[in-house]
Structure 1
Amino acid sequence: MEIKANKINGANAEIEATISTDEVNANVEKIAKQLSKTANVQGFRKGKVPVAIIKKQYGQKLVEDAEAEALREVLSKGLDELKIANESLIGEPTISKFDKSDDKIEVAVKVAMRPEINLDDVDALVPDFKKPEVSDKEVEERIKEIAEGQAPLVNIKRNRKMKEGDTAVIDFEGFVDGKAFEGGKAEGFELLLGSGQFIPGFEDQLIGVKRDEEVELNVTFPENYGSKELAGKEAMFKVKVNQVKVKDEVEVNDELAQKLLQKEDATLDELKAEVKKAIEQEKLAKLYNDELKPKLLEAMVEKLDFDLPEFVVEQEIDMAVNKKASEMSEDEIKELRENPKKLEELRETFRADAEKSVKATFIIDALAQKLGVKVEEQEVMQTIYFEAMQMGQDPQKAYESYKDAGYLPAIQMSMVEDRVLSTLLNKKIEE
């Protein structure tokens, strides 16, 4: 067996070999002898089947297994020659050449390795930034908002005209073409005017109406309304205003602080400190997500230089091409199938972005290992559950849907990326 191993770059290598027919035949003999000891063949006792019978019965399968064993030997010897450990490999080796003739097989196997990335200068790539400041006015306004949110609704004493911000307690029934429709009726419904909770125009027409008045409101359902039977239709609602409520006033004092902080001796100053801390975190998260994280990742992709595994880049291009194909007409897809050159030109338009994407993935992976950042599957599940509940969806169904679609690894990687970048930025603050 003649082997020639060549390390193309830091992430790719090729092993070329010539396997003689004699070597394949020797493998056939060896496999046949092993099989003769375990095979069940009618008319023979187990372990006593002649090798000639095994060869006759298994024929081509023996040859294929013998060739496969020779290929494994080629790979093993080639990796030894290149001094590449098995754990450094990523993906499956690719057979780029397999030419058989009467006396030999000429093969070429491409392998990809996890690239080595020098992360010594990563800290220097973290952009300079100032920790967001929070003014006393912002804290006071936030506490006022919280207090208003805690305030109970109370009936207004004077029977005045309703205005935006009032909560109307109403009975209503809706009609389309003079007929009441399903789901268009309710009693004692609390509607905050100006909230945009109802069909456009409904809340606006209640402004100026008083308690105990009955009115008819004419509206048009949006074209994209959830119910196809009602989408785009004109409707009339009969509405009776039973009560008008407003938010009661809540004093901003130590008592409010004790209620919100769940602490008997809490003070307003403590509440202000907690609120200030929360606003700082909100501002910092916004700064991180909107500006600093994209900027940091872009800088690392641009400045860190290393070789990329070819097959990973090609896979990324495949995904981009498939996505593009889903937006193309049948004629355009047919043209690509019939014109390999045009398909190759299309693939090349995605190469630069694919390389950046793959590069970013390897950088984040290497940093995660260096910084000890991990995201367990349980955390991914909790994140999906939380988001589903916020959107009013069934958490278990949402999780199963993501799992069935194969999205969990991508979600996990996204969480790792977020945590890695946050770790680097937080380190910058500490410095």
Structure 2
Amino acid sequence: MNITKNTTDNLNAVLTVTVDKADYQEKVVDVLNQYRKTANIKGFRKGQVPMSFIKKQYEQAVIFDTVNDLLQKSVSDYINTEKLSILGNPVPVMNDIDWDAEQLNFDFELGLAPEFDVDLSKVEIETYKVKVADDEVQKYVDNFASRFGSLKSLAEAEAEAVLKVDAKVEGQEEANATFVRLEDLKDASAFIGKKVGDVVEVNSNDIFDTVEEATQELKTEVTEAGVNVSYTIKEINKAEKAEINQELFDKVYGEGSVDSEEAFRNKIKEESENMYSKEADKQIINDVVAKLLDTVKFDLPTEFLTKWLLTSNENVTSEEQAKEELVKMDKSLRYQLIEAKIAEVNNVEVNAEEVKQAAFAAIKDQLKMYGQTSIPEETLQQIAMSALQNQEEYNRLSYQVFTDKMLEIFKSNVKLNEKEVTFDEFVDIITEKNKELEEA
């Protein structure tokens, strides 16, 4: 077998693969012998079918499959060995093949990745530091106090009560056990003052803001006219906020992590600013990507990519459709190439241990959100390893580690002009940027 590459221009090449009969004949004979041993053909005993008969029926198909497998492996090996940077996959050129010939020739078109440089030092963007105000810290304090509070039983319903009820929709036989937070209702007046055992009959339009909300809460299809519902009250409770003391501090951050209300508030402010910092980091990536797409220019082998889409995407059935699809994927394809170039220059790699540590950190943060701060590290490791058994989750975390490394490269090389903003200002900025991106 012989493979030669003919470069037609900077973005296109043709691989010519010459396959001699000796390259595949032995494999073909082995397969035909196996067919002969197992073939059940009327008039012949099993294993006694003449080879001439087997060849007449199967040889052409076996040669085709064997050569095709040989071509796929050899072309792939050649591309890897020669370190060819290609786009898409090789596209076979449709030539007439004389399968009886001693030598077979196959051509494959290649789309070559363009050559270009990326100078991050020429990129300049504005980045944001979100300052957390005292009133926002207070919202977090109130939220923690509510989350770690307790339920107090009430004799009758009041505005902030939570009712355990059996809800029966008119026309349905079964009642659904559920909870009703009176402060969430559009109008809770029908429930105020009611006691355990009382039945409240209302139309869904009187207590829910939208048909969608009524449908979700009642677990049944609700129309614009609403439905009549009977609520039988089983329990009446009120959530009482936890006191702002050491017990609450320990529940939120772990025993002894903070020892005063001032330290508690400072910790909340620090964590909030860190959380917003992560959002600001995401925007750094978005803004750098936008700048690079605007400034790093190179051509793509569009004619080849059109052919590749036609041969590889079953949903693309015409050249016009392939060209339309190529326009849609242009920006993502260009950034993939830019990203790969930056990673190559900076030796960015991701290993299994880094993915494992990312999974561990993600599980730890997730459990912390639910106040579980004292789970043994060994248990956390087991949960993380279990999550990584899912290939999709492993790939997601692997790309997250890669993205984090790219972010550090951007921070180290791009000129960042930091601007201090409030949270509301930050939200307005991001909303406007996303709007511009959608319109682009």
TM range (shorter): 0.5 to 0.7
Aligned positions, number = 367
Distance 2:237 2:75 in 1: 81
- Corresponding residue of 1:419: 404
Q: How far apart, CA to CA, are the structure 2 residues paired with 1:415 and 1:219?
A: 48
- For residue 428 of structure 2, what is the aligned residue in structure 1? none
Q: Specify every segment of 5 or more residues in structure 2 that has no aligned partner in the other structure, as ranges.
A: 37-50, 206-210, 370-382, 419-440
Q: Is contact 1:316–1:358 with CA below 8 Å preserved after alignment? A: no
1:87-236 equivalence runs, <5 A: 87-90=83-86, 92-99=89-96, 108-113=107-112, 116-119=115-118, 121-125=119-123, 127-155=125-153, 162-163=158-159, 166-177=160-171, 180-181=173-174, 184-186=175-177, 191-195=180-184, 204-211=188-195, 214-220=198-204, 222=211, 225=215, 230-232=220-222, 234-236=227-229
C-alpha separation in 1, matches of 2:109 and 2:358: 35
Aligned equivalents of 2:71, 2:227: Cα separation in 1: 73
Larger Rg: 1
Amino acid at match of 2:109: K
Q: 2:328 aligns with which of 353, 366, 370?
A: 353
User: Which residue matches 1:372?
Assistant: 348
SS at match of 2:125: coil
Question: Cα gap change, 1:349/1:420 in structure 2, threshold over 3 Å: closer, same or farther?
Answer: farther
Match of 2:265 among 251, 261, 272: 272
> In the alignment, residue 372 of structure 1 is paired with which amino acid?
V
Q: 1:127 to 1:230 in 2, by over 3 A?
A: same
Q: Following TM superposition, by how much is the alpha carbon of 1:61 offset from its aligned partner in structure 2, in angstroms?
A: 7.1
Distance 1:365 1:95 in 2: 26
Bigger RCO (CA 8 Å, 6+ sep): 2
Aligned partner (choices 294, 303, 315) of residue 286 of structure 2 = 294
SS of residue in 2 equivalent to 1:132: strand
Tell me if structure 1 keeps the 8 A contact 2:32–2:55.
no
Q: Deviations over 1:131-170 (max 9, x none)?
A: 222233332332233223222233468x6x622xx12344
Find the counterpart in structure 2 of residue 282 from structure 1.
Answer: 275
Q: What SS does structure 2 have at the residue aligned with 1:143?
A: helix
Counterpart amino acid of residue 331 in structure 2: K
Tell me how far apart the structure 2 counterparts of residues 139 and 412 of structure 1 sit (CA, whole Å). 31
Distance 1:87 1:5 in 2: 13
Q: Following TM superposition, by how much is the alpha carbon of 1:204 offset from its aligned partner in structure 2, in angstroms?
A: 2.9
Deviations 1:22-52 (A, max 9, x none): xx7xx3367658988999699xxxxxxxxx9
Whether the aligned pair in 2 keeps the contact of 1:172 and 1:239 (CA below 8 Å) is yes
Change (3 A) 1:38 1:61: closer
CA distance in 1, matches of 2:333, 2:193: 61
Residues 241-390 of structure 1 mapped to structure 2, 5 A cutoff: 242-248=235-241, 250-251=243-244, 253=245, 256-264=248-256, 266-289=259-282, 291-308=283-300, 322=315, 343-369=318-344, 370=346, 372-374=348-350, 376=352
State the distance in 2 between where 1:254 and 1:87 align: 62
What root-mean-square deviation, in Å, do the aligned CA atoms of Structure 1 and Structure 2 show? 5.6
In 1, distance between residues paired with 2:366 and 2:137?
31
Q: Which amino acid aligns with 1:180?
A: E
Conservation of the 8 A alpha-carbon contact between 1:99 and 1:105: no
Tell me the amino acid that sits aligned with residue 193 of structure 2. Answer: V
1:224-245 deviations in Å (ceiling 9; x for gaps): 9479994137233143375342
CA gap of 1:87–1:135, structure 2 versus 1, over 3 A, is same
Amino acid at match of 1:351: L
Q: Deviations over 1:164-201 (max 9, x none)?
A: xx123444341423x532xx244xx65322346xxxx6
Cα 1:226–1:245, aligned 2, differ >3 Å: closer, same or farther? closer
Deviations 1:261-288 (A, max 9, x none): 3233723333223211211122223334
Contact 2:128–2:280 (CA under 8 A) maintained in structure 1 = no
**Alpha carbons 1:126, 1:425 under 8 Å: kept:** no
CA distance, structure 2, for counterparts of residue 422 and residue 130 of structure 1: 15
Does the CA contact (< 8 Å) of 1:312 and 1:358 recur in 2? no
Normalised by the length of structure 1, the TM-score is 0.61
